[in-house]
Homo-oligomer: A and B are copies of this chain.
Amino acid sequence: MENSLPQANNMTLAPPGGHAPSQKQVKCKDCALRKSDTFRAFTPKELEFVQSLKRGELAAEAGTTIFLEGQNSAHLYTILSGWVFRYKTMPDGRRQILNFGLPGELLGLQTYVFKELDHSVEALTDVVLCVFPREKIWSIFENYPELSFDLTWISARSENLLDNNLLSVGRMTAIERVAHAILQIFDRLDQLEMNTGNVAEIPFTQEQLSDALGLSHVHTNKMIKELADLGHIDWQSGKLKVSDREALIKLSGYETPVDTPRPFI
């Protein structure tokens, strides 16, 4: 009744065939994300336009494959709630998680720009996605310079996150990587006001984290334990507490980003 869609045993390709726009959909002007001043304010005109692009909402369970490497997609999505991750795999099963996606982020720009996607995207938690048909994207470029700029902005930001991940995976030690990742996730959640003080709800498993960091899950676990033994963090049953942010920063060379309001569509 609720989740109109992917009956989502893992690996269902979404959206399946002619996917039904869900019954109730939030108007863009009422979108919860707009309320946050993390995101730049839209003019009424922009809001109305974006509303005209929105086809509906798509709810997907944790574990659902949203995009599959090599496929094309008829839609782009903005994450309204929940987490996803982008990843690539090798034939023998090795997996690299490229990035985690949080609310406000756009999925599938690559599928619009190129013919097909060369990575996959999976829902990490139950998610709600805002659906845009790809044929309508062009009208953004055609009519809304500010929004076109936003698309470039979004793409550049995503590149930026990758730069950081590459530095981490390429040149940091295991413990530095873990500390760095924790701080990065923390700050991103902070921007979205998804933290309670110094505690965050972390939906990913240690194995998923290790796939993001290029480490084995065993070693990742040992590093987490070490950070905990040092008294810097406490990570229990999905709740991550950063007890000593400064120590983590010192340990990993993390630089707190200046966060200016960012666009989302």
Query: A residues engaging B (CB < 8 A)?
Result: 86, 88, 90-91, 94-96, 98, 109-110, 113-115, 118-119, 138, 141-142, 145-146, 148-149, 151-153, 155-160, 162-167, 169-172, 213-214, 253, 255, 258, 260
Contact = CB atoms under 8 A, between A and B. Distances in A.
A94 B155 CA distance: 27
- Majority SS of interface residues in chain A? helix
A36 to B, nearest CB: 19
Closest 5 CB pairs of A and B: A170-B214, A155-B155, A141-B145, A148-B148, A162-B162
A29 to B, nearest CB: 24
Contact of A169 (B86, B109, B170): B170
Contact of A170 (B86, B151, B152, B213): B213
A186 to B, nearest CB: 18
A224 B15 CA distance: 44
A171 B260 contact: no
Contacts of A152: 109, 113, 141, 148, 151-152, 155
Contacts of A213: 170
Given A141-B148, A149-B141, A167 B90 contact: yes
